[in-house]
Amino acid sequence: MKNTFRTLPLLITLGLIGCTSTGTSGPNEAQMLSAAARAQFDCADRNGNGYIDQSELVYMRQCGIGENLKCGEEQPVLEARPPAGDFELGLRMIQVTDADADNRISIREFRAHCARLDRAHQD
């Protein structure tokens, strides 16, 4: 009976350690983005939910995000642009970048887009 009381706290402690340490993954999803590319994503993610949703597609070009634009590069401010053109670019970006087909761009999908463009620019 004494041994049971000694091992019980040990088992509880090990169980708690296991519960708090499982499910951890490698580096933060946004960690591999440059600061400038992260700023582009945050600029387009106006509601701060971690996704570029369909309601935020019109901001992508304003934030320097485009299908062939290198991530993290500053883009010139384009005055008097029709919002319809910006929305069409956003729809194209969703088609190209949205890997899980949930009609929004996550930070992970954006990071993959940037990595793809980086490889293309290196070749």
Per residue, the 3-state secondary structure of the chain, as one string, reads CHHHHHHHHHHHHHHHHHHHHCCCCCCCCCCCCCHHHHHHHHHHCCCCCCEECHHHHHHCCCCCCCCCCCCCCCCCCCCCCCHHHHHHHHHHHHHHHCCCCCCCEEHHHHHHHHHHHHHHHHC
pLDDT in tens, the chain (123 residues): 555 555 545 445 444 444 343 444 444 444 578 888 999 999 999 999 999 999 999 888 888 887 777 787 765 555 555 667 788 888 988 998 999 999 999 999 999 988 887 777 665
Please tell me the pTM assigned to this model.
0.67
Cβ-in-10-Å burial (0-12, 13-18, 19+) of 24 comes to exposed
Q: What is the pLDDT of residue 16?
A: 44
CATH topology of domain 35-122: Recoverin; domain 1 (1.10.238)
